[in-house]
Amino acid sequence: MGSSKIIGEKIMTKKTTAVQLPKDLVEDLIEASLRFQEVVETLEVQLDKKTVERLKRGEKEYRQGRYNTAANRDEIEKVLS
């Protein structure tokens, strides 16, 4: 992978195999990337009308106490069957 620097009218190309970045910068970039991904996923959900309707219906059912609980795998299977 190479990088180019423009110096005046000339272009200098230097091939590199590694880049050093401060640890704090890398952590910030990862955190920003994760936040961006969360925003994109939120937008995708909000733009999907069927998903929004399912979420609204689920919230209404929850408020009305119309839900089941399960404490272990067997109970989960029983609720889902």
Rounded average pLDDT per 10-residue block, the chain, 81 residues: 57 74 96 97 95 96 94 92 87
Give the Cβ contact number of residue 28 at 10 Å. Answer: 11
Domain count, the chain: 1
User: Among the residues of 1-81, which ranges form H helices?
Assistant: 23-47, 49-63, 73-80
Would 12 be classed as within a structural domain?
A: no
Would 39 be classed as within a structural domain?
A: yes
Would 8 be classed as within a structural domain?
A: no
Would 31 be classed as within a structural domain?
A: yes
| Domain region containing 48 | 20-80
Would 44 be classed as within a structural domain?
A: yes
Local structure of residue 27 (DSSP, 8 states): H
pLDDT at 8: 57
Quick check: pTM over 0.85? no
Interatomic CA distance for residues 69 and 63, integer angstroms:
14
Would 30 be classed as within a structural domain?
A: yes
